Chain A
Amino acid sequence: MPSPTPPTSPSRSPEEGRAIERVTTVVLGAGHAGLAASHYLRDRAIDHVVLERGEVANSWRRERWESLRLLTPNWQSRLPGHHYDGPDRDGYMTMNEVVRFIEQFAAVSRAPVRTGTAVTSVRRVDEGYQLATSGGPIRCRAVVIATGACNQPVVPSLRDAVPASVTQLTPFDYRWPDLLPDGGVLVVGASATGVQLADELRRSGRPVVLSVGEHVRLPRTYRGRDVLWWMDASGVWDQRHDEVDDLDRARRLPSPQLIGSPERRTLDLDALSASGVELVGRLAGVRDGRALFSGGLRNVVALADLKMERLLDTFDEWARGDGAAEPPERFAPTRVPDPARLQLDLTRGEIRTIVWATGFRPDYRWLDVPVLDGKGRLKHDGGVVDSPGLYALGLPLLRRRRSTFIHGIEDDARAVIDHLAGYLAARP
């Protein structure tokens, strides 16, 4: 057990001639991950601050569209010492509810959050790290990066070839359908974001074309229970990062085609087709004002159907002999248009808007420590970054498959802060 460290105290640094604040550990980001880190740091009496560029739960407040609800049911919204205790255990939180939930957690755990504090640089110094922040420099021995996995929308470079007459939006720009010009929309990407926006835009009366690459198909409910109940209960989410065959690929897995809705409806490609959304293949290029789509739509759909069947087999195997459960279900293969369109003229006015639902990535431009791989991803082993005293939390499949979801943070934060405490204790 490390001994409690002295409280934060300003001191003078001769090299910079201004007060450098010293603190043992700095947590970056006051979302669910940073606050969970703070919870365990407090448990161990490790002196720390949580720096937040905006407000608590900032990206849930500012970087999400209006209708979004969590993909996980309320009963799965668990944080260390804090859980959903409302009446609708099977429902899905709206963004306002998520913000309130995380705010309550910050209050209950009395996290030392400094809002409105942007970090512009983190670099290694003798005994730890020096941070440049909008509130002045800070020196610390350990840093926990909890700035999130979805700081920036990823947009393919072929956006530059799209005619100027077409409005282009990312999910960060999108709030609700009325903000778009009237007319047709091409939604590129069929993970959770893409299918939800395609659905909402179609319901607004617009013609919608959905460009579909590799994706993950899931029913919302299976054998009478939420599909994420099955992921949790059957142990799929317990798989550790060092047990996964191809970790790199597993961490890049697209989010499943799910929506959190009061009626618990399934939002797969068949549901979208039924509502009038036209499916096309992956957007492969834009040439002479024409969007060109892959002719491989049938294969990505077959891959997703096969993977879903294997997952359902896993559930059934786990549940064998459970007489209480409803009988196994199988779903018809996804239908695709025959033939699917391979080209779409973007200059004709049929499509007025393109929505790029092509994924997100973290932003590490402020991180001046050489711990990124060639693709700009943070190199870490279960949240332990390859630089002494540097840690990460709140990334997909950080330690287990469960890590990708809010309730995965409890075990992750406990383990990572355990390691951090051991590191501090070994170097008093």
Chain B
Amino acid sequence: MTTVDNGVNVQALLDARGVLKDAPDAAQFTWRATSTWRNGVHSTTRIQNFFGLGQEQSHKSETVFDADHPAVFAAEDNGITPIEYLLVGLASCLTAGVASVAQNRGIQLRSVESTVEGQHDIRGILGVDSDVRNGFNDIKVTFTIDADASQQEIEALVAQSQKRSAVFDALTNPTNVTVAVA
């Protein structure tokens, strides 16, 4: 008998689910980022600390993200655009979900590739036409998965990963957002 190993500690996740079922307070997480304007439309955002399981937590190191705009926007291109970070979040969240669900279902993955395309009509942000929205008008994710599983099982992996995805939910459903000046 072969052991399926996608590198996901599913038992830990299942244990956490069992514990948090009776401890909803511990399940409340706060994710944080701090951002600093550099110059032009270039900014730097740092992420290290977050709150969860009832206490302050920390990544093992700080990560720094540069966001800017490309030359066609007459900018210096010190980093990807903010809306591209949403694609990073969506792709990585769905991929993590595929790996976790596969592990839980005993499916060995060999490779998981995906491409994400967000359709964006920039007339919205430029104020050209008030009927055009600012954000993406359509996002398409295409997975190519090599695994010990039927096509139907692979489709079910991808469907289930959307069902349990934080970023898929954040992009598809409205969220209350408050922006204040300190």
Chain A contact residues, CB within 8 Å of chain B = 214, 281-282, 284-285, 287, 292, 294-296, 299, 302-303, 306, 309-310, 339, 374
Contact = CB atoms under 8 A, between A and B. Distances in A.
Interface in B139-182: 152, 155-156, 159-160, 162-163, 168-169, 171-174
B177 to A, nearest CB: 11
Contact of B138 (A214, A303, A339): A339
Contacts of B163: 214, 299, 303
Contacts of B172: 281, 284, 294-296
Interface in B96-139: 137-138
Nearest to B169: A296
A339 B139 CA distance: 11
A296 B168 contact: yes
A284 B174 contact: yes
Contacts of A285: 173-174
B90 to A, nearest CB: 12
A284 B173 contact: yes
Contacts of A309: 152
Contacts of B22: 374
B152 A306 contact: yes
Contacts of A287: 174
Interface of B: 22, 137-138, 152, 155-156, 159-160, 162-163, 168-169, 171-174
Nearest to B156: A306
Interface of chain A, main secondary structure = mixed
A296 B155 CA distance: 16
A344 B156 CA distance: 31
B81 to A, nearest CB: 21
Contact of B173 (A294, A306, A339): A294
A90 B136 CA distance: 50
11 contacts: A214-B163, A282-B173, A284-B172, A285-B174, A294-B172, A296-B162, A296-B168, A303-B163, A306-B152, A306-B155, A339-B138
A286 to B, nearest CB: 9
Contact of A299 (B137, B138, B162): B162
A281 B22 CA distance: 31
A330 B137 CA distance: 33
A302 B173 contact: no
Contacts of B159: 299, 302-303, 306
Given A306-B152, A310-B152, A296 B138 contact: no
Contacts of B152: 306, 309-310
Contacts of A282: 173
A390 to B, nearest CB: 22
Nearest to A303: B159
Contacts of A310: 152, 156
Closest 6 CB pairs of A and B: A295-B172, A284-B173, A296-B172, A299-B162, A285-B174, A292-B174
A182 B58 CA distance: 58
B77 to A, nearest CB: 30
Nearest to A300: B163
A302 B174 contact: no
